[in-house]
Structure 1
């Protein structure tokens, strides 16, 4: 980490670098927006969340309450859910300072963290599985959480079979670690972030796409990303395909942010 740079600074840099990178097929970037969500919304989100990150760095608050606070702060713009998944990853990482400590913090969460996390959903348009008894849209879901005495970790574990971000926080941030390692592997390339993102897209079906459009859609995007990696189509071809179909790999974008956060903290020199 560069002298004078805080964990909060690193997290904000990671968020800004991810959204400004180009080309990241299917997602908002410096060259295209969505009808209701623009680059400016993501950049506003980066700024708005700072006080929640600062509290996380000082350990003034719990995981659930700080995710809720960051989500409320960023709901001040009209661009919808911009960084909810990223907050789930970044808050424990900022609190812990490293992956090992972040994993332990998540394991020590409480029922109150789970309830706060559910409250945060009210400020997002995050899609969940239909007919799920813990569906946030079910008014009795919080009662069910309390009945089961589920912690935030328990809730993430419950969701991990169908949610890449939830799986990440319960399985030791393994994909975050892999992403950071890839960033160092591609160090010196001006398109580092785009190359790493494309590699992730070719290896992991994005669960955000899956929730909106089904398993086949997420697999199809992964297959086309492999075609890009093998030179059969261009990244712009994949980008056009995703945009035409509304496929936005948001879960892997969140993983990209947490990987950038770790890489920056370990000395990745983005400014060389």
Structure 2
């Protein structure tokens, strides 16, 4: 793995790397079921993602400011515009993305990039560093996160039965409940990351993988970044292979929200078949293996030609593993910070 200090990577602007990660994620192909440089999804176009990446930059810049000065304004409106709070940075990024893209393109990507940028700014882009960043979030951060849902439509699963008042689809109207419960943004993520809750679509719901990253120290992100760093060829191809590895490892949250957990698990099995079957679908408590159980060599040998066939099939079936794409974006950022270059 390349040392950032010796290679000059430390001198690169982290916000540039975060923006590049957003661009590289959508440029990677094939990413079955997702927009990439070869295919659009209905009214969602490749160019929309390019616009979203540029529009999000103001929020990314706020996230890249070390420390947390707190919100300067009314917490019910997310605080002062110049505040570097994590929640405000995310909400600003989503607003800019939506304004430039005209739709929701990279909501989940930004949810991961914001803490990754903050950890970078504080000099500790590691699982422990990210744990400190997420544990420092506040109730005001949670309110800003909820406000972000007012800028775009986001497909989410129903909340647990005992947390109806914290449904993110309420937007800022959930602020009184958040304050009454003293719920921080990390608390919100922990609620979404719960495993084993009963849901309307099956006995076991698929947890929110982005939320799991927040409360677990981003293990999927770092694992996929390692796959990319040890792989060869253009970074977009490495990202496409990492996408298959992540999808094979765990059912996609967005697929489960839109089609149910069984379809999500079947989609993971289809991705695993492109890795030579190097995946035990029924090995974990929610029917999947840990991403670390996927052998890096199997990811590197993934058949992208065969993945093109799966990509066409999933688009035809309306199956969109968008949460997996979010994880790839986060991994691309980490890989770039650790020395990955755009070309082979």
Q: TM-score, normalised by structure 1?
A: 0.94
In the TM superposition, 1:59-208 aligns within 5 A as: 59=66, 61-77=84-100, 79-97=102-120, 98-99=125-126, 100-130=128-158, 133=164, 134-138=166-170, 141-161=174-194, 162-188=207-233, 191-208=237-254
- Deviation at 1:149? 0.7
2:46 is the alignment partner of 1:39? yes
Q: 323, 326, 341: which one pairs with 1:251? A: 323
Deviation by residue 1:60-112 (Cα, 9 ceiling, x = unmatched): 51111110000111111454211111111111111111133232111011000
- Per the alignment, residue 6 of structure 1 pairs with 13
Deviation by residue 1:106-160 (Cα, 9 ceiling, x = unmatched): 1011000000100001112112223651212347533221211100010000001
Asked whether the equivalents of residues 7 and 57 of structure 1 are also in contact (C-alpha less than 8 Å), the reply is yes
Deviation by residue 1:2-55 (Cα, 9 ceiling, x = unmatched): 454200011011110110011111100000101121011100011111122122
- 1: distance between equivalents of 2:274 and 2:52? 31
Deviation by residue 1:191-224 (Cα, 9 ceiling, x = unmatched): 2111111111111110111011100111111111
- 2: distance between equivalents of 1:17 and 1:195? 13
Q: What's the Cα RMSD here? A: 1.8
Moved more, 134-143 or 73-82: 134-143
> How many residues align structurally?
271
Asked whether the equivalents of residues 36 and 79 of structure 1 are also in contact (C-alpha less than 8 Å), the reply is no
Q: 13, 21, 29: which one pairs with 2:28? A: 21
- Deviation at 1:170? 0.8
2:336 is the alignment partner of 1:264? yes
- Per the alignment, residue 314 of structure 2 pairs with 242
- 2: distance between equivalents of 1:143 and 1:127? 23
Q: Gapped runs of 5+ residues in structure 2?
A: 67-82, 195-206, 277-302
- Per the alignment, residue 264 of structure 2 pairs with 218
Q: Gapped runs of 5+ residues in structure 1?
A: none
Q: TM-score, normalised by structure 2?
A: 0.75
For the residue of structure 2 that corresponds to 1:75, the secondary structure is: helix
Asked whether the equivalents of residues 51 and 101 of structure 2 are also in contact (C-alpha less than 8 Å), the reply is no
Q: Which has the larger radius of gyration?
A: 2
Asked whether the equivalents of residues 60 and 90 of structure 2 are also in contact (C-alpha less than 8 Å), the reply is no
- 2: distance between equivalents of 1:261 and 1:78? 21
For the residue of structure 1 that corresponds to 2:169, the secondary structure is: coil
Moved more, 37-46 or 51-60: 51-60
- 2: distance between equivalents of 1:23 and 1:216? 23
